[in-house]
Amino acid sequence: MKKEYDFSKGKRGAVVPAPKGKTRITIRIDDDILDWFRGSVDEAGGGNYQTLINDALREYITNQQEPIEVILRRVVREELTAAK
């Protein structure tokens, strides 16, 4: 090991750059939630728990964007059923 190192050409940032279309962030997730995602990946035989979280978030967003007509029809059906 050297007594002194030269960091004059050093660069800050991630060692491995994020692929195009991905952004590196830091978030805080409850331990039990993270354990669930990691466990699910392990049970499936391996993979990446971050991809599983990304897929779950994407599915949630997709399901939240129902057209207003679909929402109205569902509400009317529920109200008619409850009125019987």
Residues in the chain: 84
20-37 pLDDT, tens per residue? 999 888 999 999 999 999
Per-residue pLDDT, 34 = 96
More confident residue, 14 or 6: 6
Whether residue 65 is contained in a domain is answered as yes
* In a domain? residue 71: yes
Does the global pTM surpass 0.75? no
Helix (H, G, I), strand (E, B) or coil at 65: coil
Q: In the chain, how many domains are there?
A: 1
Other CB atoms within 10 Å distance of the CB of residue 60: 9
- What is the tens place of the pLDDT at every residue in 53-78? 999 999 988 888 788 888 889 999 99
Q: Rounded to an integer, what distance in angstroms lies between the CA atom of residue 19 and that of residue 16? A: 9
**SS3 assignment, position 60:** helix
